[in-house]
Amino acid sequence: MSQQLINKLCIIGVGLIGGSLARALKKSDAVGEVVGAGRDVTHLEKAKALGVIDRFETDITLAVKGCDMVVLAVPLGAMQSIFEKISVVITDDMVITDVGSAKGSVVRAAQSAFKTLPKTLVPGHPIAGTEKSGVEASFAELYENRRIIITPLESSSDYAVSKVISMWQACGADVVETTIEHHDEVLAATSHLPHMLAFSLVDTLAKMDAKNEIFEFAAGGFRDFTRIASSDPDMWRDICLANGNALVAMIEKFSDDLQQLSKAIEKNDSVYLKDVFSRAKKARDEFCDN
């Protein structure tokens, strides 16, 4: 009988992302035992009842003992405390990765928690998800044909990097490697800024006197554009704080362009408007085609 890719996996934070990872690895028969960890016993019991995990622990140090793969799927603000708990039981063959949306924040948390960054630590980020949250929203196909970004550290061993890559590939994902800085800049533009726009737009409209009529007559385009405003507020608060510099730079750039658009409308500048809309349509169509 051939040995599985992961003998014992611990997922800390069994929600949409962590739960979908467990489901995908079980579906591909790439994992032996899956241990769930977290503070909410009711939530963990639900994950076990759904077959997402095999057992659970509320004590992180007990949960990760004997595991050859540990995945942190917790809010960015909780990373350091989790790393601190892991630091007392980490072994040379315990690979540690995460799914955080801001890699600089994760590395800073690890540096604060560990005296020396472990050779088995490989930060990662799946570019996948939905506006829903919780283990009941998880599904095995979430990562199929989706991109997973890993940002190995100088200290990351080849063994750890290879194991993290293989884990995500077993889920049907396309794994790419980049630097922490590049990841955070790109995600600020392509993920974090769009969420800020959706949250801000819905909040602006919700504060208007005619909000009931506005939402009553909202068409499909509004629902599509603002879908991500249903995402977890706590998670996105943490992301804003964790990737603040890159995100503020993108908000300022977008604000400048939006101001130019406003001036063009005010001046009836049809040429400017047509140019903006044409460039945007061309870029969006090319993106969708690819």
| Domain-embedded: residue 1 | no
In the predicted structure, residue 46 carries a pLDDT above the cut 70: yes
Q: Are residues 94 and 197 in the same domain?
A: no
Token pair, residue 64, equals: 């990760």
Token pair, residue 275, equals: 């140019």
55, β-bridge pairs: 35
Q: Are residues 31 and 99 in the same domain?
A: yes
Cβ-proximal residues to 1 (8 Å cutoff; 6+ apart), any chain: none
Q: Are residues 29 and 156 in the same domain?
A: yes
Q: What is the mean pLDDT of the chain?
A: 94
> Given the structure tokens 């630091």, which residue do they identify?
87
Where does a domain end: 158, 178, 198? 178
Single pTM value for the model: 0.86
Token pair, residue 250, equals: 């993108």
Query: What's the first-to-final CA gap in the chain, in angstroms?
Result: 41
125, β-bridge pairs: 149
The pLDDT of residue 3 is 66
Confidence tier at 8 by pLDDT (50, 70, 90)? very high
In the predicted structure, residue 2 carries a pLDDT above the cut 60: no
Q: What does the pLDDT look like over 169-226, one tens digit per residue?
A: 999 999 999 999 999 999 999 999 999 999 999 999 999 887 888 888 877 888 888 9
Where does a domain end: 123, 145, 178? 178
| Domain-embedded: residue 193 | yes
Q: Are residues 22 and 79 in the same domain?
A: yes
Q: Are residues 22 and 138 in the same domain?
A: yes
Are residues 173 and 147 in contact, defined by beta-carbon separation less than 8 angstroms?
yes
Q: Which residue range forms the structural domain that includes residue 94?
A: 6-178
Cβ-proximal residues to 27 (8 Å cutoff; 6+ apart), any chain: 140
Residue 266: give its domain's CATH number. 1.10.3660.10
Residue 135: give its domain's CATH number. 3.40.50.720
**Which residue, 163, 142, 161, 140, is CA-closest to 152?**
161
Q: Are residues 196 and 267 in the same domain?
A: yes
Tally the domains of the chain.
2
Element (H, E) at 164: helix 158-170
Q: Are residues 145 and 36 in the same domain?
A: yes
Q: What does the pLDDT look like over 96-141, one tens digit per residue?
A: 999 999 999 999 999 999 989 999 999 999 999 887 889 999 999 9
Where does a domain end: 178, 212, 244? 178
69, β-bridge pairs: 9, 95
CA 214 from centre of chain: 31
